[in-house]
Amino acid sequence: MQIIETKNLTHIYNKGSVFEKIALDDINLSINAGEIVALIGHTGSGKSTLIQHFNGLLMPTLGDVFIAGDSTGDKTKLKSIRQKAGLVFQYPEHQLFEPTVYADVAFGPTKMGLGQDEIDTRTREALKLVGLTEDCFEKSPFELSGGQKRRAAIAGVLAMRPEVLILDEPAAGLDPRGKDEILSQIQKMHTELGITVILVSHSMDDAAKLAQRILVMERGRITIDGSPTEVFSQGEVLQAIGLDLPQISKLMNRLAQENPAIQKGVFSLDAAAAELLTLARKGAEK
C-alpha cells in the first residue's frame, strides 16, 4: 500500500526572480507503507526540499503530493497529514524547550487535545521506544548526552504516533557511540512499530546499514532508485555525481580486483564476511 506519492512534483525557489532555482524537477515517486527508504545525494541535490513536501511544510510549485491518499494541497487535511508524517529535522535537540524530558515529549500529544491518561501512555511508550529510562523523565533535556537529546527529540514525534517517520541526518554530529545508538534505535522502532521510515543521510554506511531501498538525488531529480545492492553496485555512477561507497564496499571492490571470484556490490559487514567465508570454503575443498 502506498503511503507517499508524488506526481510531477516540481518546486522552484524565488520563482520569477533573478534568484530562481529549480530545487525539484518533475519527481514521480511512490513509497510503500512499512519501507525503510534512504535518501542520499550531495548538498543542494534536493533532499531536504523533498522531505519538507512530505508533511506539507513546503507546497509544490507544480504537481501533487499525497500522504495516505490525502493531498497536501488540501488545507483542511494539513493537520491530519502532519500527524501522519512526522518530520525530525537535523540537530533536533536544538528544538527541545520544555523544563523536563517528559514535558517535552508530552507537548505534541497535549496539543492534539488528548486526555491526560492517553498523553501519559503515549509519552512513556515513546520514551521507552527510543531507549530512555524513567530516571531521565524529570531531567532537563540539556542534562542529557548528545545521543540522548537526539532520541528525546525523536520521541516527541513518535508520541504523536505518525505513520511515517522522516529523519533528516539523524546521526549528524554524534560521536561513534551516539551514532551507533541512534541508528540501532531507528532500526528497533521500525521493527517494533512497522512504520515507514525515510532517512536523509550523507553517510553511505548509514544508508547501507538501515535501508531496504535507496533513492539517489542529483540536481532535483531521482537518478537511481533501488535496493542497496543495486545502488552500491553502481560505484562509478555514484562517484561521478560526488558520492562515495560504504567503506566495506570499497574494500570488497579492491579485493575483487585481485580475485574476480569476489562479488562486487557487497555493502554490509555481514555480507562481506559471508562472501569471504564462502570463498575460503571453496578454496579448502579444492
**Domain CATH code at residue 178:** 3.40.50.300
* Element (DSSP H or E) covering residue 25: strand 21-32
- Please state the three-class secondary structure of 223-275 as a single string: EEEECHHHHHCCHHHHHHCCCCCCHHHHHHHHHHHHCCCCCCCCCCHHHHHHH
What is the extent of the structural domain holding 49?
A: 2-244
Regarding whether 109 and 153 lie in a shared domain, the answer is yes
Q: Which residue has the cell 515529549?
A: 105
Residues 106/119, Cβ–Cβ less than 8 Å: yes
pLDDT of 54 reads 96
Regarding whether 229 and 284 lie in a shared domain, the answer is no
Regarding whether 134 and 43 lie in a shared domain, the answer is yes
Regarding whether 230 and 95 lie in a shared domain, the answer is yes
Regarding whether 141 and 250 lie in a shared domain, the answer is no
Question: CB-based burial of residue 6 (10 Å sphere; 0-12 exposed, 13-18 middle, 19+ buried)?
Answer: buried
Regarding whether 107 and 37 lie in a shared domain, the answer is yes
Regarding whether 126 and 267 lie in a shared domain, the answer is no
Regarding whether 162 and 283 lie in a shared domain, the answer is no
Q: How far apart are CA 101 and CA 149, in angstroms?
A: 9
pLDDT of 65 reads 97
Question: Which residues does 285 contact at the CB level (< 8 Å), separation at least 6?
Answer: none
Regarding whether 274 and 144 lie in a shared domain, the answer is no
Regarding whether 36 and 165 lie in a shared domain, the answer is yes
- pTM attached to this predicted model: 0.87
Regarding whether 253 and 140 lie in a shared domain, the answer is no
Structural domains counted in the chain:
2
Regarding whether 253 and 225 lie in a shared domain, the answer is no
Q: What is the residue-level pLDDT of the chain in tens, covering all 286 positions?
A: 899 999 999 999 999 899 999 999 999 999 999 999 999 998 889 999 999 999 999 999 999 999 999 999 999 999 999 999 999 988 878 888 899 999 999 999 999 999 999 999 999 999 998 999 999 999 999 898 888 888 999 999 999 999 999 999 988 888 888 888 888 889 988 998 899 999 999 888 889 889 999 999 999 999 999 998 889 888 888 888 888 888 888 888 788 887 877 776 677 777 788 878 877 777 666 6
Residues 211/38, Cβ–Cβ less than 8 Å: yes
